[in-house]
Amino acid sequence: MENRMEIYNSLTKKVERFVPNEDGKVGMYTCGPTVYHFAHIGNLRSYIMEDILEKTLRYLGYDVKRVMNITDVGHLSGDSDDGEDKMLAGARREHKTVMEIAAFYTEAFFEDCRKLYIKRPDVVEPATGCIKEFIHMVQVLLEKGYAYEMGGNVYFDTAKLENYHVFSGQTEEELLVGVRDDVEEDTNKKNKSDFVLWFTKSKFDAQELKWESPWGMGYPGWHIECSSISIKHLGEYMDIHCGGVDNIFPHHTNEIAQSEAYLGHKWCNYWFHVHHLNDKTGKMSKSKGEFLTVSLLEEKGYNPLVYRLFCLQSHYRKPLTFSYEALDNMTAAYNKLVKRIADLKEEGEVEQDKYAAYKERFADALCDDLNSAMAITVLYDMLKEDMTDKTKLALAQSFEEVLSLGLFDSKEKEADPELERYVLERIEERKAAKKAKDFATADAIRAELLSKGIVLEDTREGVKWKKA
């Protein structure tokens, strides 16, 4: 098939034509969440833009296989081999076991994704399910001379590579992660940039999760999981690997080091990185105390899909600053857009030439380094165009495959007036129950509707509903 997508590749620092290894097929890998806490809306910016990438590739006709890991072991707060184990800190904070924390926050992550219309990847693999594969990879790296045992741990020897820092343009500060003044230097390491593949001796006495290995009871480093899980499901050659820009170093740098040393050849051709969401004080992060979640936005009355639109209106390679004011403006724009689509009638015939021309324009925008804001402009232009409502509806439906903004949610309701009447009645009953402080009844009504596939949202403008 024709390869027409141009995408920025962090590896070459250029916008390049995207050409997968196998004609018409794409193997795509996404670094999944570390499930020690809720995802903040910054994390979710990355997943929204990766979702747009995946859906664009499908829109263009590729057969995409997307794999995501769930980090439930091994990720230390310093991203390098320093700091606290994030999962352990989460378990302590909530007086639960690590696996309880992992199960709860994995579920919460996918619930957020559902609200943001982010498609679930074809394969989702928790790190703790692949320990055998990690051990095998570490063994091969030892056999090939790319790794060494020291002080009980197994390290990757970065001096064995000609080009460890494959992503150029890193700042000195980034290169010095792990050797900051406040970090105790690991004297086991032969080179400062070496990193742990397998821990047996660690400063975490209370480490709950440990497995038998040829090097003693221990647990894997964070980076090995993504190399191993992606190779397990996508084979030796991967097309595109995604993550937030903070993953470039050390995480993705180390993934490349291990994977290519293990495989003996180039591994992944394209690297897609989403820039950060910031708040007024800087990069949004989970360690900053109170952080912004999808549920918090909902509590404040915002529709999560308005946040999705907010993300799509800006380019994924630019930092984006969050503010409630911006979200208020976006809410107004969103409501207008949805109303315009709801007002379209099933009238006239689809004008095939216009339909095809607009689809082209839409695909062109996305093929231009995933210019999602331009794709939305095409949607607005199309709605203004002199053509039949039926053509507009068909186009909006087609664009929705990628944008996933819930453009038809209100139309769906119209299509089933009986259901609409029933849901509105139940919403009123729930309102009355809440007023009477009968929260059990209110919750029961919500649960009953949910069992029928109806989700209620408490927003500023009152209770809204949609199909799950």
- Considering CB distances under 5 to 8 angstroms, the limit depending on partner class, which of Zn ion, ligand AMP, none binds residue 45? ligand AMP
Determine, following the binding rule CB under 6 A, whether residue 221 of this chain makes contact with ligand AMP. no
Residue 43 binding: pick among ligand AMP, Zn ion, none (C-beta 5-8 Å cut-off by kind):
ligand AMP
Binding segment for ligand AMP (CB under 6 A), chosen from 37-45, 135-143, 342-350, 362-370, is 37-45
Distance CA 254, CA 250 (A): 6
Strand 195-199 and strand 6-9: the pairing is unpaired
With binding defined as CB under 6 A, does residue 233 bind ligand AMP?
A: no
Q: Say whether residue 226 binds Zn ion (CB under 5 A).
A: yes
SS3 of the chain: CCCCCEEEECCCCEEEECCCCECCEEEEEECCCECCCCCCHHHHHHHHHHHHHHHHHHHCCCEEEEEEEEECCCCECCCCCCCCEHHHHHHHHHCCCHHHHHHHHHHHHHHHHHHCCCCCCCEEEEHHHCHHHHHHHHHHHHHCCCEEEECCEEEECHHHCCCCCCCCCCCHHHHCCCCCCCCCCCCCCCCCCCEEEEECCCCCCCCCCCECCCCCCEEECHHHHHHHHHHHHHCCCEEEEEEEHHHHHHHHHHHHHHHHHHHCCCCEEEEEEECCEEECCEECCHHHCCCCCHHHHHHCCCCHHHHHHHHHCCCCCCCEECCHHHHHHHHHHHHHHHHHHHCCCCCCCCCHHHHHHHHHHHHHHHHECCCHHHHHHHHHHHHHCCCCHHHHHHHHHHHHHHHCCCCCHHHHHHHCHHHHHHHHHHHHHHHHHHHCCCHHHHHHHHHHHHHCCEEEEEECCEEEEEEC
Smallest separation, CB 344 to ligand AMP (Å)? 35
User: Tokens in use for 201?
Assistant: 């001796």
* Contacts to Zn ion from residues 24-53, by CB under 5 A: 31
Give the shortest CB-241-to-Zn ion separation in angstroms: 8
61's tokens = 């006709």
- The only residue of 43, 56, 227, 258 in contact with ligand AMP, by rule CB under 6 A: 43
How near is the Cβ of 368 to Zn ion at its closest, in Å? 27
Tokens representing 184? 């105790």
Choose the binding region for ligand AMP from 178-186, 270-278, 304-312, 360-368 (rule: CB under 6 A): 270-278
Among 189, 241, 276, 392, the residue binding ligand AMP under the rule CB under 6 A is: 276
Among Zn ion, ligand AMP, none, what binds residue 284 when CB lies within 5 to 8 Å by partner kind? Answer: ligand AMP
- Residue number with CB closer to Zn ion (113 or 454): 113
Give the residue with the Cβ less far from Zn ion, 31 or 294.
31
Check binding of 125 to ligand AMP (CB under 6 A).
Answer: no
Candidate list 125, 133, 246, 409; residue touching ligand AMP; CB under 6 A: 246
- With tokens 């406040």, the residue in question is 182
Taking CB under 6 A as the criterion, the residue among 27, 74, 221, 244 binding ligand AMP is: 244
Would you count residue 283 as binding ligand AMP (CB under 6 A)? Answer: yes
Which residue's Cβ lies closest to ligand AMP?
244
Of the ranges 39-47, 123-131, 207-215, 227-235, which one interacts with ligand AMP (CB under 6 A)? 39-47
Binding status of residue 390 toward ligand AMP by CB under 6 A: no
Shortest spacing between CB 89 and ligand AMP, in angstroms: 13
Cβ 457 vs Cβ 465: under 8 Å? yes
Query: Taking CB within 5 to 8 Å according to partner kind, which of Zn ion, ligand AMP, none is near residue 228?
Result: none
Dihedral sign of CA atoms 383, 386, 392, 398 in order = negative
Q: Which stretch binds Zn ion (CB under 5 A): 56-64, 224-232, 389-397, 419-427?
A: 224-232
Structure tokens at 442: 């209110």
Please, which of residues 54-83 interact with ligand AMP by CB under 6 A?
Answer: 71
User: How many chain residues are in contact with ligand AMP, going by CB under 6 A?
Assistant: 17
The span of 43-51, 149-157, 417-425, 454-462 binding ligand AMP (CB under 6 A) equals 43-51
160 binds, among ligand AMP, Zn ion, none (CB under 5 to 8 A by kind): none
Distance of closest approach, residue 68 Cβ to Zn ion, in angstroms: 9
Report if residue 31 touches ligand AMP, rule: CB under 6 A. Answer: yes
Residue 256 in the binding site for Zn ion (CB under 5 A):
no
Q: Considering CB distances under 5 to 8 angstroms, the limit depending on partner class, which of ligand AMP, Zn ion, none binds residue 226?
A: Zn ion
Classify each residue of 397-421 as buried b or exposed e, where b means 16 or more C-beta atoms within 10 Å of its C-beta. ebbbebbbbbbbbbbebeeeeebee
**Contact pick of 42, 90, 178, 221 for ligand AMP (by CB under 6 A):** 42
Minimum distance, C-beta of residue 16 to Zn ion, in the bound complex (Å): 22
**Contact assessment for residue 5 and residue 18, using Cβ atoms and an 8 Å cutoff:** yes
Residue 454: both structure tokens together: 């109806």
Does 293 bind ligand AMP (CB under 6 A)? Our answer is: no
Residue numbers at the binding site for ligand AMP (CB under 6 A): 31, 33-34, 42-43, 45-46, 71, 243-244, 246-247, 274, 276-277, 283-284
Residue numbers at the binding site for Zn ion (CB under 5 A): 31, 226
